[in-house]
Structure 1
Amino acid sequence: MTSATTTVLPTLAEIRRVPKVLLHDHLDGGLRPATIIELAERYGYTGLPERDPEALRAWFRASADSGSLERYLETFSHTVAVMQTADALHRVAYECAEDLAADGIVYAEVRYAPEQHLVGGLSLDEVVEAVSAGFAEGERDHGIKMRSLLTAMRHQARSREIAELAVRYRDRGVAGFDIAGAEAGNPPTRHLDAFEYLQRENAHFTIHAGEAFGLPSIWQAIQWCGADRLGHGVRIIDDIVRVGEGAELGRLAHYVRDKRIPLEMCPTSNLQTGAAASLAEHPIGLLTRLRFRVTVNTDNRLMSGTTLSEEFRKLSEAFGYGWEDLRWFTLNAVKSAFIDFDGRLEIINGIVKPGYPDLR
């Protein structure tokens, strides 16, 4: 990897221009504030704390900066409230594709929980079809490849139903399955039936694990549930002991690294939820140096006030990462994507490698 003493750090404008890949982004965490206000007015939602777009943007960021995952999750009540019709879901999905493409993202897997969008009378299938149609139009208009991950809420009991939904639509824009929500008291093993079904169906899935909860969450996600990727996984650092300039890995950390299990790391979000004290202290620095399969992601662009380019810029400034490092993160993400091998090679050889500065 490169170092700050030998590397000219890329600027934010330069980072925006290179191709990037995003694996962990929540649809209901990335709405434009103006869109939230317009949809609230259209559908009669009166619970917004602010009616000015910039004031609302600032409110989301401040409310998410609590240091608590539970408080962070409360902010979603407002975005989900305005995503209860097919038209609203279509619009939000289209704008998501447009915003990601404007940030230089060429492939994205964006997740959402269909069960949270039924208040207006939609069926689960109608929710998926509305979002997929918005993504498809965004692909056509903005040159980005969009795929969905269908999320089940870990404190609810619909995971098997959502897993079946993901399999039903896997050839129509849905790339895989996820579970999300507060980890404490809601272990992934509560949803074994869904994960066993997905494995029998040769379907891909990721699990939010090791964010607010520790190593048991990661161990269960991998060894009991069979997760292909770890959503966040930042607490794997608890199984690593620093020894001088080196490190000693415990058995679980060794397993995660040896098996190349992707870590969907979201640095700014982790600071907000208390998973790391500062960016300089974020485990991503050590995990990258130890060559775990680290990927960089946004989590919730509205709540974190961020983009993938800005996440890259922050890491570059904190750890001295140059183009070689940013390309490495991007290649890790492509290799970990829930699309077929030929599709991953096409992105790697046709877009990512020629899209970064000559590193010879």
Structure 2
Amino acid sequence: MTPTAAHLASIRTPLLGWYDRNKRDLPWRRTKDPYAIWLSEVMLQQTQVSTVIPYWERFLARFPTVLALASAPLDDVLAGWKGLGYYSRARNLHRAAQEIVSRFGGKLPSSAEDLLSLPGFGRYTSGAVASIAFGEEAPLVDGNVARVFSRLFEVEGPPGDREREATLWELATLLVKGERPGDFNQSLMEHGATTCRPENPLCLLCPVRDACGAFRAGRVDELPPAKVRATPKKLTLALAVWSHADTLLFARRADSGLFGGLWELPAAEVDEDATPEETTLRLTAALGAGVRLESQLGTVKRQLTHRDLTLRLYRVSGPQRPSRSESFQELRWCTPTEAAALGMSTAMQRALEAAMTALA
């Protein structure tokens, strides 16, 4: 059932007032720069605000404009992203900046429709940037907004359900129409992050409690239903620690997949119970050069969102030092100091530290 205009107003007006009084003082809320706002939205995907703030400030200092980002080598961009995870965000950010320069003269387009044509811009990011940076009545739905709507309008269905998602976007489209669409969208996200929380929501402090169907029906704890999380898959990688003089061999992965586009100690996927002979064959195939396993230097374990990751470090050598491989975009011999400037995942950084400790 479509909400009445009065019902929508009973949500919109109180939420905007609440936002004006209670919004957190976040650095990207102090700027009108569309690029800075876009960067914050990308960084905030699957990452907590407290983690994002210093990264956002450092990244903007290093790449202060769309042109600066578009002109930078991808390695520099990935290095600036190091530690934030979900590196496809950084790759898409870089590609989108280059398209903004080539197609839009270096300025972000102001409509959600045009933004949607850029790499990394889905419906949420397009709506967020168009509404917050340019004042367009563009809807958005993220996890916080979905939870708020599920409770306000008693929207049934589990997260990811197609009919539920369509309903949420319809509600977002209705509610964003009116004054200050960017602030209203932010009020929804702020409300979900601080008051209409997943656990222990602060209903007594809620500015739209009287308009909330779940509150009236005593169903706040039921809506939305919890998302069923898949058990993380186990992934074991054998890492080649190949030293020569003061350098180690590093490899850059293909752009797609886990750790796409990032640098690493050359890795090959192995079975959890792989023998040394099997590990040797996998590393030889990955590097396209003969490999001898000399010793195991240690193991690093990391818990990723969808994977239990085990990195096994092997000191290796061979009759010929490889310089290229079909399995990697690039091979490079670097000192550990030089490697620090490469875009490398936190997991691989820990592996490198463990390797250096073992070699010392």
TM (normalized to structure 2)?
Answer: 0.28
Give the number of the structure whose residues are more often helix, by fraction. 1
Higher relative contact order (CA 8 A, sep 6+): 1
* Structure number, greater radius of gyration: 2
